[in-house]
A and B are shown apart, each in its own frame.
Chain A
Amino acid sequence: MLAKLAYRNMKRSARDYLVYIFTMTVVTALMYAFGSLIFENTLPRYAETAGILEMMTGLATFFIVLIVAWLINYMVRFMLEKRSSEFGIYLLLGMKKKEISRLYMRENLLLGGTAFLFGLALGILLRQVLMAVLFAMMRMEYRLGVSFHPGTLLTTVLCYAGCYLLALLRCRRKFRKMNIHDLMNAKRRNEEIRERGEGIKRLLLPLSVLFIFAFWTVFAVLDNTGEIVLFLVGLVLTIYLFYVGVSAWVICYVRKKGNAVYKGQNLFLLRQFASKVRTMQFTMGTLTALFTIALLGASVALMFSDYENTVLEDKFPFDVQLYSPEVQEDFADEMAVLQEQTKVLEARRYHIYTDQSNQVNAWMLTHLRVWGTMFRKEDGTPDREKIEAELKNGGAYCASDTYMGLSDYNALRAMLGYSAAALGSDEYLIQVKSRLAGEVQGMAQDLRITDRWGEGTLSCAGICADAFSQDGHNGGDYVIVVPDEVLGRMQLYYSELAADIDGTVPADLGERMNKTGQNPDRLGVYAEAELRPNECYGSDMIIAYAEDILVRDNLIPAAKYMLASVIIPLFYIGLVFVCVAVTVLSVQQLSDSAKYKFRYDILAKLGLERVQIHRLIRRQLAAYYLCPAVLGIVISGKMILFMSGRFVEATGVPVSPLSFFIKSILLFFGIYLVYYVVTYISFIRNVDER
């Protein structure tokens, strides 16, 4: 009998909480699909990045399990509260508390189990999509194939079941403490509206707004951990207290009988809104936090994915490029490997020179936006000491300025398919990364490059910003191109080799060349020993990729793999957080639509037309849905704009910082809209039901 009752109750709950079930199904599917990245990652491994995707996904899963546990806990308690009077009747009929709690557990397990099974089926499908997307990102062919890894399944089951059991055990404790009277009255209790001290609570709204304003102005200049922690604590408090303030403010407005109260259904709307926000203030705060995190996650993911789509290709313009700190290096071993493994169309060995000064380096450190005022004294003049220290140990630029001869430059340009550059005998050219083209416009005025006789100075013929491998190979950020004769006055600095290859290269070409022994991994050296004076990486901050041996076809997939390990977990978190947040909103609204159906019946009796009631519901839902979303947008907005500004500056992605913010908002409003429409339709159905 109990099983039958549980089954019937589950069927009823499923109808009432369809949105919740839908979300649980989606969450299970996401958990399974992303979990499979940890256990059945069929993507090719890259030595340096092995394990990153797994680790990041694991980390994301941890946060997601936390939030899903919260959702399940919230829902199980919510359903318990809704049905408490029913349970009171069971008790009255003589059922034991243990039996009822077991019945409720069984119902929830049935409900959760159903969602889980659907989710699993969807997850297996989603995994295929996810892998196909990942493979496409890395330009590899993916063969569809249904696989079923016990590890993935077990983790998904454990995460899911763990959340459920935890929530149910908590409920069981609650059951034990309840008596019939409490159960029968549980529903009535939360209908009471308490209004006390609204005048004071109202002040929380302007205070919150003031804090958010302060947050917008001060955020960019926060520079120590103490300040940041203080601000974050303030922010969390603001998020929660904002809602106390909003509802108090609306209540005061209605009590004061502001003009808007007298227009149409506003009185009803304002009161509904205030009372709902009041009873849900803590939940609303949590939802705002979820939206903020989701928007942040999605924006960062979008930044990296934009980077991948726009900048990455330009990072490695040459098929193969080699570096050696030794000026005598002839790259014979590497050439042998190249010729054995590939079809080399053209290979050019050349040198980077130096005039042993560091006027260009100093100019870069004191003028580029990335460095800010780090290398200036308080009065604005260059801080020589800091500059020296940076050039010695920092690694962004070599110890001395880097130069290149025009003939080498033009040969390399030809290899890349660019037109040749022309220079007069008393001219030089600045070759920089494209993101810096605008920033180095004033450089020429400050540079003094002596001509080949050491008497006059060269004049600047222009700035070139074509992609030219400037992360330590053809200089860091820049290389000054001079007529070949001028090089006579300079010293050889380090050796380079660039090659043009026909067709594709083997996946392990880079590794094979590395094994020739003369080119240990530069990052490894960096960790172990002092930086060599002729080594540098350029000023790229967030994503920097420096290696002695660059093989484009090997590096781009590896870089994409690494980027994917950031992008995917962030999207994963964003998606789940938003789904969880809107589910809570929707379920709240839908259960209200059933519980408070009488309110709309009364409005109908007062003469409101059906169309008017529908419009009223639309407005009411929009207010609930927008409130946490807008606050989330306002708070995350500053962080996202700040971060994306820095990102664009540091990586040279050719878009406006605002675009990431707008794109992630659009993305989430898409999901939002789906839930809003579904909720609205079900709401109307509940209200119109006779």
Chain B
Amino acid sequence: MSDYIRVCDVEKYYGSGSHVTKAVDRVSFQVEKGEFVGVMGASGSGKTTLLNLLATIDQVTAGHIYYGDTDITELSENALSEFRKKYLGFVFQEYNLLDTLTIEENILLALTLQGGRKKEIDEACGQILGLLGIADIREKFPYQVSGGQKQRCACGRAMVNRPRLLLADEPTGALDSHSSQTLLETFTDLNRSMEATILMVTHDAFSASYCGRILFLKDGKIFHELVRGPKDRKVFLQEILDVLSLTGGELTVQPAAEL
């Protein structure tokens, strides 16, 4: 399906008068259904701002963002809440799990907020716990499990309602290399098995190599785009590193031993 998500001439300015910072500067791109898109860029390149705009957490200064036929820049605050609940899932670097709830309950809450019958909720929850391999720690509290497990729980919570788009902001940022790899494989699985559309912001080339397409951001503008196509992941990683070397090598690369 084409035109699944369309970002048209989006701008976001901060500050006023002579101190205006252009965080996002006339950015346009499209995301197809079932795509796994990465956004890369150095610190301050505007990638998180872009993600926040897509996530409806922040408002654009100018431009439009269409999800299908819906222009989210035109929606009221309450309509946006409803939209978030129905169509979006989030995974953040700092997990953002509720500390008073167990792993299972964190996922359950996302379902109960949507409403639904007990049996359906339990089924959906059990399914996603199994899919992400965290069923055995379902009764543990976030502080009792590892970072990787927390992040998988966050993924579970984001995916359990089958959102139109999964937004991930540096999801591997706080994870060790092994957990990162597991998580990225989880993303790939979700992308394939559930046809989840994923938009991931990262400054890590290794993480980005799992994506199908990568947008490179610099000073708020898209300056390059890479498509993986049928290429092997290692080849794709090399391509990413080549692009990064052009930008001055500000971005991080996982040690070669782990590739």
Residues in chain A within 8 A of chain B (CB atoms): 191-193, 254-255, 257, 259, 261-268, 271-272, 274-275, 596, 598-599, 601-612
Q: How far is the CA of A11 from the CA of B31 in the complex (A)?
A: 50
Q: How far is the CA of A257 from the CA of B77 in the complex (A)?
A: 33
Interface status of B145 (Cβ within 8 A of chain A): no
Of the candidates B81, B97, B98, which one forms a contact with A610 in the assembled complex, judged by CB atoms under 8 Å apart?
A: B81
Contact residues of B between 93 and 118, Cβ < 8 Å to A:
96-101, 105, 108-110, 112-118
Q: How far is the CA of A599 from the CA of B99 in the complex (A)?
A: 8
Across the interface, name the chain A residue whose C-beta is closest to B79: A609
In addition to A267-B105, A605-B84, 13 A-B residue pairs with Cβ atoms within 8 Å of each other are A261-B112, A262-B117, A267-B109, A268-B100, A271-B98, A271-B100, A599-B99, A602-B98, A606-B113, A607-B86, A608-B85, A609-B77, A610-B81
Q: Is the CB of B81 within 8 A of A604?
A: yes
Q: How far is the CB of A198 from chain B (nearest CB, A)?
A: 12
Of the candidates B99, B108, B115, B118, which one forms a contact with A264 in the assembled complex, judged by CB atoms under 8 Å apart?
A: B115
| Size of interface on B: residues with Cβ below 8 Å to A | 35
Of the candidates B57, B78, B117, B143, which one forms a contact with A605 in the assembled complex, judged by CB atoms under 8 Å apart?
A: B57
29 A–B contacts, CB within 8 A, in A order: A193-B100, A254-B105, A257-B118, A261-B108, A262-B112, A263-B112, A264-B112, A265-B109, A265-B112, A265-B113, A267-B101, A267-B105, A267-B108, A271-B98, A271-B100, A271-B101, A601-B96, A602-B98, A603-B113, A605-B55, A605-B84, A606-B109, A607-B84, A607-B85, A608-B85, A608-B113, A609-B81, A610-B77, A611-B78
Across the interface, name the chain A residue whose C-beta is closest to B108: A267
Across the interface, name the chain A residue whose C-beta is closest to B117: A262
Within 8 Å CB of B57, what residues of A? 605
Of the candidates B98, B110, B112, B139, which one forms a contact with A599 in the assembled complex, judged by CB atoms under 8 Å apart?
A: B98
Within 8 Å CB of B115, what residues of A? 264
Within 8 Å CB of B105, what residues of A? 254, 267, 271
Contact residues of B between 169 and 224, Cβ < 8 Å to A:
none
Of the candidates A271, A607, A610, A611, which one forms a contact with B113 in the assembled complex, judged by CB atoms under 8 Å apart?
A: A607
Given contact pairs A607-B113, A608-B113, A272 touches B81 in the complex (Cβ within 8 A): no
Q: Is the CB of B98 within 8 A of A608?
A: no
Within 8 Å CB of A612, what residues of B? 81
Q: How far is the CB of B30 from chain A (nearest CB, A)?
A: 24
Interface status of B67 (Cβ within 8 A of chain A): no
Interface status of B141 (Cβ within 8 A of chain A): yes
Within 8 Å CB of B109, what residues of A? 265, 267-268, 606
Q: Is the CB of A259 within 8 A of B118?
A: yes
Q: How far is the CA of A603 from the CA of B84 in the complex (A)?
A: 11
Within 8 Å CB of A259, what residues of B? 118
Interface status of B90 (Cβ within 8 A of chain A): yes
Q: How far is the CB of B134 from chain A (nearest CB, A)?
A: 17
Q: How far is the CB of A610 from chain B (nearest CB, A)?
A: 7
Q: Is the interface of A mostly helix, strand, loop or mixed?
A: helix
10 closest Cβ pairs, A-B complex: A607-B85, A609-B81, A607-B84, A271-B100, A275-B100, A262-B118, A267-B109, A602-B96, A609-B78, A271-B101
Across the interface, name the chain B residue whose C-beta is closest to A195: B141
Q: Is the CB of A607 within 8 A of B81?
A: yes
Q: Is the CB of B112 within 8 A of A266?
A: yes
Interface status of B82 (Cβ within 8 A of chain A): yes
Q: How far is the CB of A664 from chain B (nearest CB, A)?
A: 35
Interface status of B122 (Cβ within 8 A of chain A): yes
Q: Is the CB of B82 within 8 A of A607?
A: yes
Across the interface, name the chain B residue whose C-beta is closest to A194: B141
Within 8 Å CB of B98, what residues of A? 268, 271, 599, 602
Interface status of B72 (Cβ within 8 A of chain A): no
Contact residues of B between 132 and 168, Cβ < 8 Å to A:
139, 141, 143, 157
Q: How far is the CB of A670 from chain B (nearest CB, A)?
A: 32
Within 8 Å CB of B82, what residues of A? 607, 609
Q: How far is the CB of A254 from chain B (nearest CB, A)?
A: 7
Q: Is the CB of B113 within 8 A of A191?
A: no
Across the interface, name the chain B residue whose C-beta is closest to A255: B139
Interface status of B40 (Cβ within 8 A of chain A): no
Within 8 Å CB of A609, what residues of B? 77-78, 81-82
Of the candidates B88, B96, B122, which one forms a contact with A257 in the assembled complex, judged by CB atoms under 8 Å apart?
A: B122
Interface status of B7 (Cβ within 8 A of chain A): no
Of the candidates B85, B112, B122, B141, which one forms a contact with A193 in the assembled complex, judged by CB atoms under 8 Å apart?
A: B141
Within 8 Å CB of B157, what residues of A? 606
Within 8 Å CB of B141, what residues of A? 192-193
Q: How far is the CA of A607 from the CA of B57 in the complex (A)?
A: 11
Interface status of B42 (Cβ within 8 A of chain A): no
Q: Which of the listed residues B55, B57, B109 has the most CB atoms from chain A within 10 Å of its own CB?
A: B109
Q: How far is the CB of A407 from chain B (nearest CB, A)?
A: 83
Within 8 Å CB of A605, what residues of B? 55, 57, 84, 90, 96
Q: How far is the CA of A254 from the CA of B57 in the complex (A)?
A: 31
Q: How far is the CA of A275 from the CA of B100 in the complex (A)?
A: 7
Q: How far is the CA of A4 from the CA of B86 in the complex (A)?
A: 51
Across the interface, name the chain A residue whose C-beta is closest to B88: A607
Q: How far is the CB of A409 from chain B (nearest CB, A)?
A: 76
Q: How far is the CB of B119 from chain A (nearest CB, A)?
A: 10
Q: How far is the CA of A612 from the CA of B85 in the complex (A)?
A: 13
Q: How far is the CB of A112 from chain B (nearest CB, A)?
A: 33
Within 8 Å CB of B96, what residues of A? 598, 601-602, 605
Across the interface, name the chain B residue whose C-beta is closest to A598: B96
